């Protein structure tokens, strides 16, 4: 892997990819990890990419559109976040840009939070690939990852599984 691109190169990469997909890009300075996608209008509102974290946030938001996410698609929010993360990670890998482990862990934590909310909201199906991704995280450092590790399993034959979560009386209390 090569060293990550810098400032203006980040911006050029994002704009090139957005242009290929017909996505309009709007920049803000609200923080490196705040981004939004306007899925229907193919627009992203992303931080000005000055460092890798803001660059990756921009790619993540483009990833929502490239993954064809729509409010009516029926996918749970955690799956949207995982798919956008995967798209952005794969984009970097294809470009030879290493994704720092801290970025992976940040995304893993956010996705785990969305999974926990889905389970606590009554979801009976959690994508096994997403659960496996979360299981690779540090449950000691993050309570949402710990929740997934304690209550879900990625080791069943079914495509989706919630194991202990359905039997656990403390599920709603956490």
154 belongs to a structural domain: yes
Torsion from C-alpha of 86, 72, 123, 128, nearest 10 degrees: -30
* Backbone Cα Rg of the chain: 17
Q: Give me the domain span that covers residue 51.
A: 1-75
**What is the SS3 assignment for 52?**
helix
89 belongs to a structural domain: no
Confidence of residue 133 (pLDDT cuts 50, 70, 90): very high
pTM over 0.85: no
147 belongs to a structural domain: yes
CB 20 within 8 A of CB 39: no
Please tell me the predicted confidence (pLDDT) of residue 17.
94
Strand ranges across the sheet with 36-38: 24-28, 43-47, 36-38
What does the pLDDT look like over 11-60, one tens digit per residue? 999 999 999 999 999 999 887 788 888 888 899 999 999 899 999 999 99
93 belongs to a structural domain: no
User: Which segments of the chain does DSSP mark as H helices, in order?
Assistant: 7-21, 52-66, 77-95, 101-120, 128-135, 143-151, 164-167
Q: Domain check: are 104 and 66 in the same one?
A: no
Q: Tell me, rounded to whole angstroms, the distance of Cα 125 from its chain centroid.
A: 18
Please tell me the predicted confidence (pLDDT) of residue 71.
80
Among 21, 41, 75, the domain-final residue is 75
Higher-scoring residue by pLDDT: 170, 71: 71
**Highest mean pLDDT: which range of 77-86, 138-147, 159-168:** 77-86
Higher-scoring residue by pLDDT: 136, 164: 136
Q: Domain check: are 123 and 66 in the same one?
A: no
88 belongs to a structural domain: no
Q: Domain check: are 151 and 105 in the same one?
A: yes
Please tell me the predicted confidence (pLDDT) of residue 21.
93
Please tell me the predicted confidence (pLDDT) of residue 45.
94
Please tell me the predicted confidence (pLDDT) of residue 83.
97
Which one, of 111, 100, 106, lies nearest residue 31 by Cα?
106
Q: Domain check: are 6 and 51 in the same one?
A: yes
Please tell me the predicted confidence (pLDDT) of residue 169.
38
Domains in the chain, number: 2
Q: Domain check: are 3 and 69 in the same one?
A: yes
Q: Domain check: are 4 and 65 in the same one?
A: yes
Q: Domain check: are 169 and 112 in the same one?
A: yes
What does the pLDDT look like over 78-108, one tens digit per residue? 999 999 999 999 999 999 999 999 999 999 9
Please tell me the predicted confidence (pLDDT) of residue 73.
86
The per-residue b/e assignment along 29-51, b for 16 or more CB within 10 angstroms, e otherwise, is eeebeebebebeeebbbbbbbee
What is the rounded distance in angstroms from the CA atom of residue 128 to the CA atom of residue 141? 22
Q: Domain check: are 152 and 111 in the same one?
A: yes
Q: Domain check: are 109 and 174 in the same one?
A: yes
Q: Domain check: are 47 and 1 in the same one?
A: yes
Q: Domain check: are 112 and 172 in the same one?
A: yes
């Amino acid at each position: 892997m090569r060293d990550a691109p810098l400032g203006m190169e980040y911006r050029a990469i994002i704009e090139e990819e957005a242009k290929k997909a017909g996505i309009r890009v709007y920049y803000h300075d609200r923080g490196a990890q705040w981004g939004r996608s306007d899925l229907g209008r193919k627009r992203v509102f992303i931080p000005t990419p000055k460092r890798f974290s803001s660059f990756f946030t921009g790619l993540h938001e483009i990833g929502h559109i490239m993954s064809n996410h729509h409010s009516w698609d029926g996918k749970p929010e955690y799956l949207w976040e995982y798919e956008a993360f995967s798209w952005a990670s794969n984009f970097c890998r294809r470009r030879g840009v290493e994704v720092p482990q801290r970025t992976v862990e940040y995304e893993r934590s956010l996705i785990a939070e969305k999974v926990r909310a889905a389970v606590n909201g009554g979801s009976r199906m959690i994508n096994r690939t997403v659960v496996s991704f979360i299981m690779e995280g540090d449950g000691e450092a993050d309570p949402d990852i710990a929740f997934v590790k304690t209550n879900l399993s990625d080791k069943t034959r079914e495509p989706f599984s919630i194991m202990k979560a359905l039997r656990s009386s403390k599920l709603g209390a956490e």
